[in-house]
Amino acid sequence: DAGVTQSPTHLIKTRGQHVTLRCSPISGHKSVSWYQQVLGQGPQFIFQYYEKEERGRGNFPDRFSARQFPNYSSELNVNALLLGDSALYLCASSLVAAAFEQYFGPGTRLTVT
């Protein structure tokens, strides 16, 4: 079975641009969470979606948005990119919103110049 997949794997953008990151969860998993990992730190929670509804939001500005599609895949959008948005963006899937374990994809490495 395929694990969590994310695309693209790497991305370079300039300040002010916007970016869309994509995630496909494990088959049968209905919840997707997004995390940002800056170098040298642990991942920070951005969003959780379950059955296409937002179930949680971390302490990130409104420039960050996300959505979940009927097939449970998800997109993370970031507008007006800042240098500080450079990070590894991780997608995690779980069976339900409050599942104990989450399974992570390989991440998308975003570099903002």
Chain contacts with other proteins (rule: CB under 8 A): 4, 6, 33, 35, 40-45, 48, 55-56, 58, 90, 92, 94, 97-107, 109
Q: Nearest-CA neighbor of 31 among 12, 18, 47, 45?
A: 47
Tell the smallest beta-carbon distance from residue 109 to other proteins (Å). Answer: 8
Tell the smallest beta-carbon distance from residue 53 to other proteins (Å). Answer: 11
Burial class (CB in 10 A: 0-12, 13-18, 19+), 18: exposed
Q: Are the C-beta atoms of residues 67 and 2 closer than 8 Å to each other?
A: no
Q: Nearest-CA neighbor of 13 among 111, 87, 82, 79?
A: 111
CB neighbours of residue 87 within 10 Å: 20
Query: Nearer Cβ to other proteins, position 29 or 43?
Result: 43
Query: Nearer Cβ to other proteins, position 68 or 102?
Result: 102
Tell the smallest beta-carbon distance from residue 104 to other proteins (Å). Answer: 4
Query: Nearer Cβ to other proteins, position 85 or 89?
Result: 89
